[in-house]
Structure 1
């Protein structure tokens, strides 16, 4: 009577999750059929599993039709290429969804994306083998990596080239070389510990990769996470100069001096815990200040510590935030970044840096 439609995960305000790399087989064509069946019911209110509800029969039909159409187009293109004898590699890099379709707010490729759906379609109709002889019964990764590294002149050569490719934005190819290096020398340069980096942008890699464990770029993880674009470097430099001037001219407030005073008055690091029990938060900031407070009483040292932590936090923000350059810059030059976090020498700057790193 009310004509409400509860769609579950068939509608998630992102590209349909019909090719999830970490899930069992999904069925893109049947997914589209289900959406068409929903349209036929004539719902007037659509309530998805994720995102905002949609009201209006025509609007709902338009949204469901667009999602179904995108999936149907992928299935049609993939099957046509498979029947023509094309390889999975060729299909993956050929079949696309038009950019204007992906630009729609309910088809953004931020969780799943067309390339993953294409793989699922191939797996459904063609099996798990992609047709390459070397991937039917492959050699162990470690053996392959060792051989490639030997031909290249060592794992360090592969790492260097992967770094160069990452700097140039070719993160797909960089991932291949990084994997070869890690397989060849898994215990060198922390290859197994830092195996994740942010892969995306420029059409080179999937935006959804950040959601699915991120691609392995172990040897270049340091560079991949630390390097900034020219625009970001300029933003960081200008912001750092501005903050340095503001810090120099800033007279510390009472709550800034309180943390410094506690650090100076405490004989041992573990003594900070009872001395900060009324502060309302763990003594992380005081612990960082404590060794410096044992050497000098100058408040300038307090400000210098906050400034350095702020520089690192700003660097990581620019490197890790998945926003347009101008948006990151706009946030940086706002009050919280410039004043509340960095100029005022309080634990907010440390908390912010840890927050950025924890979600990276």
Structure 2
């Protein structure tokens, strides 16, 4: 038999499954096997004939004639993105009525479920693990943006889409799906994909996504990791309907009151300076002007300890200017004094 006819060899590592195989694996897509429901469809836990555990994503979409080839092309693109911090696509299934994607099963669920829906017996994610998740997910996104050709924009970066393997390594999932689901829209789509609280302002206003919209979603996800709260609920934590979440976070940082921001589940087992630097990265990533946000590759470097201090100093100077514009000339001097409190000695003694 020629290699290209053998489904096992099909598309390199990608297997084309029969619908029957996936029905058997999931007990006929039984409700008790549902792992989650998302904008793209339901996800079922399954066990393949060889005993391996998988997550089967059953895409919900109306069939369009002639979409098969396009679907297969997009699936091939997704399968080419191979990185330890990206969820690997194992295979797919395509019938006239069904589109299914098969992924390895992730033993520790999503970051969102670990932060908010864990069983009382499960320990909370410790601080070191959260830092590893922040770095791993940044590396995965950076790979999508800079090492995939064409680049893949995720379009829905959030804690629920960052999965955890058996070692609690971050694995970014659901990338490429936004494009996969939009392939039948030849017209400009007006439906904004994404999740409230994670959507960058320019995406809401124009419906255009770029790698910088992913950076914004990543910044909000960092705040979720630090606080343990949903982005949507974080605003309530700020206790003021008029306060924008990010302004509240800026205020706490300025007043050195970050302990009121950190997840209570951590019970003060965290490193203050590390929390501060993650909050700084989150604020850099969530700037309203997409041009001012760092690239994900720069975020990786900052998390690894390279370049954050300089970038943060620039941000603070720009913030002073923003405040001047907002408050008028009479208030700026106290702001500048306040800001110098946050700067480390070596920054203050630098050349003026």
**Above 0.5 in TM-score?**
no
What is the TM-score when the length of structure 2 is the normalising length?
0.25
What is the TM-score when the length of structure 1 is the normalising length?
0.25
Greater fraction of residues in strand: 2
Greater fraction of residues in helix: 1
